[in-house]
Structure 1
Amino acid sequence: MSRKKDFSEVCVLAEEFSHENGILKRENNTIEPLPCTLLPSPVPAKLLRFVENIQADFNLLYHKVSLDHEFIESILKHVIPQDDYTAHLWKIYMNTRSEGVLQGVFLGLTRSDYMLHLDPAKERSNPTLAQRLLHTEQASAFAPDFSGENSWPNLSVRQVELNFIATSFGGLAQRMVLQHRLALSLCGFPPSAGERVPDCSAGDKFADALALAQKIYQERRNELCGETGNGSSHPAVLTIVSEQEKNIYDQRVTLSCLLLRHPNIPILVRSFEQFQENSDRLKIDEKRRLFVDGEEIAVVYYRHGYTPEHFSNDEIWNVKYQLERSLAIKCPCIQYMLVNTKLIQAALTKPENLSRFVHPASASYRNLLSTFAAQYPLSEKFGINSLDEINRVVQKCLANPHLYVLKPQREGGGNNYFGEDVPRMLRSVFDNGVSESYVLMERLYPYVVENYILNTPNSTERKKIVGELGIFGAFIGCGEKIFLNEQAGHLLRSKPVEANEGGVAAGFGCLDSPFLV
C-alpha cells in the first residue's frame, strides 16, 4: 500500500463503503454490517477458470441423478427410518409421484463449494507457492496465469459440497466486486489491480434464470391446461423466506435484479407461517395452478426450508406438500432436495456410480472425479464402502482425528465435527445406532492468506485466514431437454485459520473476493 495515509482511516472508509454497497445483515430487527475482507484475497486464476468451466457438468450430473428414482431410493432408504426430516421429504416426493407430477420442469440455482487444498508436507517442499498467495500486496507482483501448464502443482481442487436450496450470497458476491475495487484504489494499488478482481453477475444470472422459468411455466401451463386466455399473462415469482432471516439483504439483491431486469414479473415474499396462520391465502385450483393472495404463481423460489427447524409442525409440512404438488416450477423441486445430501455426494465419488450418469471416457468424467474429496458413509448398507473399509478409516480417524471431518448426511450448513470432537461423536454415533446418518470426510487444508477483516473488532490487525471458493450455477431442464445450463458467477468466503465453521451470516466467516494470480 503505497499511499502515506493513516491505516485506521483507510479501514473506516472501507467499512463505510461496505455499508454503502449493502454488505449488511439483519440481527434482532436491527441492521448490522457483515464482516468482509479489506482487500480481495489471492486466488490462482487458472484454478478459478477450471471450477467455472465444470459447473455446467455438475449442474447436469445432479439433474440426471434427480431423475433416477432407483438410484435415489437405493441410497436414501436406509436413512429414512432414522431421520424424520428426510422421511418427510421422501413422503412428499412419493405422494406427488403417485399423484402424477404435472410440472416436470426443474430449476436449480446452485453453488458448488471448493477448497484449494495445500498438503502441509508439500507446502514445506515448495514454500514459494504459498508465498505467492500469502497476501494481496505480494500477489500483485505476479501476473494472472491462465495457462494450461501445471503452475500450481501442490494445490488440489476439492469439492466440499454442492448447494441446491437457499443458495446464498449470489447477490452480495456481485456487490463485493465494486467493494474490493474501491478498496484497492483506496489502499494505493494501481488501476490495473482492479482488473484482477473478476466480474461477478450472480444476482443478474439468477434473476434471468427465474425469468426464463416464468416464461417456460406460461408455455407449459397453456400446453397442459389447453388454454391461452384464462391464465395470467404475468404470473408471479413467490419467494419463501424466514421471518427471522439474517441474510435478508443478499436475498433482496437477487429480487431487485429480477425487478430491474424483468419489470413485468411480479414478486411475492411470504413465509410458511403466513400460510399456516391463514390457509385461505394459498389456493390450488382443479388444474393444480397455484394462487397466493389471488395471484397466479409461476415459480416458487425457496430461500428457506432446508433444516428440520424450518418445519416445526405438520401444518408447515402440509404447506410444503401443497407447493410441491402444484403446477408452479419449484426452485428447488423435491427431487433436487433429496439428491442434495452428503450420502448422494459420497456415492457419486465412486467411479462406478459416477459412470452411471457421465460417460467414463469423457473429459467431464475426469474433471468431476478429480475434484472429489474422500468420503466414507459409516454404514456398508449403502453399497458405497465395505465394512472392512469403514472399520479401517474409523481406526485411522481415531488415531488422527485432525485429518477428518464428521458431517450429518443432510445439507443445511454447520453441525460438523472437527478435531478432538470427532472421536467423541463417532463413538456416540455407533453407540446410538445412527451410523447411516453420518459421513466421514477427509479434512481439507486450504492455503493461508493474510488480510484484514472489516466490521469486526481489531479490523486494523492483519489476520491469517483461509478461503472457500464457490461457483454459482443456473440450470433449467425437463427430463432430457435442457433449457439453460451455465455457471453464474463466483463467491469467496474466508474465515480465521483457527475457525472450523465458516458461516458468514452466523458470524464465523467473512465475505471476500478473488484477486487473480
Structure 2
Amino acid sequence: MSTVGTLKECVQLPIKDNELVDIVQKAKDWAIMHGAAMRSKSNFSPDTLNFAPFVLVPSSFPRKEFERAIHLQPTINRLMHNVAHDEEFLTTTLADTIKVDEFTGNLFNVYKKVLANGFGQAITLGLLRSDYLAHTFDDNTIRQVEINTVASSFGGISTYMMPLQSYVLRELNQAEKIARMPKNDALAGLCDGMIKAWEIYANPKAVIMFIIEDVSYNICDQRFHEFYIREKCPHIKVLRKTLTQVHDEGKLGLNKELLIGKEEVAVIYFRAGYEPGHYPSHNEWDARYLMECSRAIKCPSIHYHLAGTKKVQQALAVPGVLDRFLNDPEEIKAVTKIFTGLYSLEDNETGNATYEMALKSPEKFVLKPQREGGGNNIYGIDIPSALKKMSRFERSAWILMDLIHPPISRGYMIRPSGPVPPPVVDMVSELGIFGVIIGDVDNIICNYEAGHMLRTKLSTANEGGVAAGLGALDSPYLID
C-alpha cells in the first residue's frame, strides 16, 4: 500500500527495551483479565483465550476528522434507513449483481418472498458501523471505506481499548496524554439500542436472540453485549442460536411471533449470516426466511442487509442519487464529501470504461466483491489479471474504488506469540463509527451515534480485519 504523510506519535519512540518488555507483559495481562480477548483460530479451544491483537499506545488521528465522523453518523444512519426501505432502488441497483453473485441473489430472494407475503414486523433495528480512512492527498480528510449493516463487530472489545491504553500511558508516566483520548461507550450505545427495540416489542416475557456461527472465535465481543443486557436488565433473557438451530427449533405462532422452543423472540441480533459459509444447506436459508416473516424486530432486517452491499455503496456515490434519500442540501454536501471514487463494472458503457481504467492504472484502485468479513478485496497490480479472468457478466458482482492513501503512524503492535520486545512498526488506522437507528418506513423512533473503534494494521498490509487475523485494535489519540 502506497502512503504519504506521517502523524506525530503519542509517545516518543522507541521505548527502552527493559521498560518496553515490562509494560508489554502488563498490558497483555490487563487485556486478558479485562476480556479484550479472542479464541485462537490456529489452536482452538472453547476453554482458552488469547488477548486480542492491540496497539500498545493510542495511534494519532486528526481531531477535526474524528469529530466530523461522529457528527455525521446520525445522517449516515438515516440515509441507510431510507435506502433499506426503498424497494425500487434496491431492486434496480442490485438487478445485475444478483444474477452473478449467488449469495447476494439468495439474500434478495428472501427479500422478495417476504415482500410478497408481507413483513411480519415493520420496525427495524439498525446497529451500523461506518468505516473511514484519512486521505493524505486531501489534508487527511476522511473517506468512507464501507458501511456495515450486519454484524458490526468490536463495539464490545473496543470499549476496553481506551482503559487499556490509558493504563499503559500511566505506567509510562504520561498520564497527561489521556485527555486526548475520546471516551468510548460503544458497548452501552449498541446494547441500549437492542434494549430499546425489546421495549418497543412490548412483551415482557420475550427474549433477545443472537444468531451466531457454529464456532465463535470473537466470543468476548459477543458476550460483552449479552452480559451488558443481562446486568442492566436482568429480566431480559438472551439466547444464542445458530441458523441451523433456528431451523430445527423455530416456528411461527398464530400472530407471526417467532417461537424458539417455548420462548418468544422480541429482537434478533445477527452476528452470523453475512457470508455463504453460514448457510451450509437450504435449511439455514429457510431459517432466515422464517425469521424475516416473523414479528421479531431484526438487526438487520433483510432489506437493511441488502442496503449494506458494496453495489449499493457504489450507487449512492453517483451524483444526484443522495437527493433521493436526504432532503437537506448541507447533509447531502457533508455525505458527498466523505465518498471516494466508486465505479460500476457492469456490462454497459460506464462499466466498460471502468474496466479499461482499471487495466490502465491498477495501482490507483481497489477491487471489491459483495463479501463481508475481510480478506476479499484485490489491490493494485493484482487487479488486471483478476478482471481478465471474469466474463463481462461476472464483473457485475464487483465494484472498483479509488485507493485511499492514509497517513502513517508509528508504534508497537502486540500480537499473541509476537516478538519480545516488539519492534517499532509503520501503521495505518481505520476509524469506525457506530450508529443506532430504530424505526419503520414512515417514522424514526431513535437515531444516535453510539461510540467508535479504531482498527490499525501494518502500513504494508492491504487488509486489516482483526477477526480475520490481519489487524489490531486501537483507539484514537486526537491531534490538532
TM-score range, shorter chain: over 0.9
Q: Deviations over 1:261-307 (max 9, x none)?
A: 2222111111123234xx2x212111111111211110011000001
Q: Deviations over 1:430-464 (max 9, x none)?
A: 36x30111101111111000010113422521010
Residue in 2 that maps onto 1:89: 107
Q: 2:86 & 2:108 partners in 1: Cα distance?
A: 14
Q: 2:398 & 2:71 partners in 1: Cα distance?
A: 31
How do 1:99-248 and structure 2 match up within 5 A? 99-119=117-137, 154-189=139-174, 191-218=175-202, 232-248=203-219
1:452 and 2:437 aligned? no
Greater shift after overlay, 476-485 or 327-336? 476-485
Q: 1:235 & 1:192 partners in 2: Cα distance?
A: 47
Q: Contact 2:65–2:141 (CA<8 Å) still a contact in 1?
A: no
Secondary structure class of the residue paired with 1:245: coil
What residue ranges of structure 1 are gaps of 5+ in the alignment?
A: 120-152, 219-231, 382-386
How do 1:323-472 and structure 2 match up within 5 A? 323-359=291-327, 362-379=329-346, 387=349, 389-430=350-391, 433-456=393-416, 457-458=418-419, 460-472=422-434
Q: 1:256 & 1:513 partners in 2: Cα distance?
A: 23
Residue in 1 that maps onto 2:239: 268
Q: 1:290 & 1:514 partners in 2: Cα distance?
A: 41
Q: 2:110 & 2:357 partners in 1: Cα distance?
A: 39
Larger radius of gyration, structure 1 or 2? 1
What residue ranges of structure 2 are gaps of 5+ in the alignment?
A: 1-10
Q: Deviations over 1:337-370 (max 9, x none)?
A: 11111111111101221111112x5211110000
Secondary structure class of the residue paired with 2:39: strand
Structure 1 residue 380 displacement after superposition: 5.2
Q: 1:510 & 1:474 partners in 2: Cα distance?
A: 24
Q: 2:429 & 2:209 partners in 1: Cα distance?
A: 33
Secondary structure class of the residue paired with 2:450: strand
Aligned match of 1:9 in 8, 22, 27? 22
Structure 1 residue 410 displacement after superposition: 4.3
Secondary structure class of the residue paired with 1:115: strand
Secondary structure class of the residue paired with 2:446: strand
Secondary structure class of the residue paired with 1:283: strand
Code of the residue aligned with 1:507 in structure 2: it is: G
Structure 1 residue 111 displacement after superposition: 0.2
Residue in 2 that maps onto 1:226: none
Structure 1 residue 414 displacement after superposition: 2.6
1:62 and 2:70 aligned? no
Residue in 2 that maps onto 1:255: 226
Residue in 2 that maps onto 1:139: none
Q: Contact 2:374–2:464 (CA<8 Å) still a contact in 1?
A: no
Secondary structure class of the residue paired with 1:367: helix
Q: Deviations over 1:205-263 (max 9, x none)?
A: 11111011011111xxxxxxxxxxxxx52310000101212111111111111112222
Q: 1:233 & 1:79 partners in 2: Cα distance?
A: 42
Aligned match of 2:33 in 17, 20, 44? 20
Code of the residue aligned with 2:424 in structure 1: it is: R
Q: 2:105 & 2:360 partners in 1: Cα distance?
A: 34
Q: 2:347 & 2:33 partners in 1: Cα distance?
A: 53
In the superposition, the TM-score normalised over structure 2's length comes to 0.92
Cα pair distance change 1:424/1:93, threshold 3 Å: same
Q: 1:115 & 1:273 partners in 2: Cα distance?
A: 37
Residue in 2 that maps onto 1:514: 476
Structure 1 residue 166 displacement after superposition: 0.7
Q: 2:270 & 2:189 partners in 1: Cα distance?
A: 17
Code of the residue aligned with 1:365 in structure 2: it is: I
Q: 1:301 & 1:36 partners in 2: Cα distance?
A: 26
Secondary structure class of the residue paired with 1:80: helix
Q: 1:251 & 1:22 partners in 2: Cα distance?
A: 11
Q: 2:356 & 2:456 partners in 1: Cα distance?
A: 31
1:317 and 2:285 aligned? yes
Q: Deviations over 1:52-108 (max 9, x none)?
A: 011111110111111111111111121222222122111211111111112000100
Q: 1:267 & 1:497 partners in 2: Cα distance?
A: 40
Structure 1 residue 31 displacement after superposition: 1.6
Structure 1 residue 399 displacement after superposition: 3.0
Secondary structure class of the residue paired with 1:450: strand
Code of the residue aligned with 1:452 in structure 2: it is: Y
Q: 2:284 & 2:148 partners in 1: Cα distance?
A: 23
Q: Contact 1:15–1:455 (CA<8 Å) still a contact in 2?
A: no
Q: 2:78 & 2:131 partners in 1: Cα distance?
A: 16
Q: 2:54 & 2:372 partners in 1: Cα distance?
A: 25
Code of the residue aligned with 1:117 in structure 2: it is: H
Q: 1:85 & 1:291 partners in 2: Cα distance?
A: 27
Code of the residue aligned with 2:359 in structure 1: it is: L
Q: Contact 2:101–2:370 (CA<8 Å) still a contact in 1?
A: no
Residue in 2 that maps onto 1:47: 65
Q: 1:376 & 1:450 partners in 2: Cα distance?
A: 33
Q: 1:157 & 1:207 partners in 2: Cα distance?
A: 27
1:505 and 2:476 aligned? no
Q: 1:283 & 1:494 partners in 2: Cα distance?
A: 43
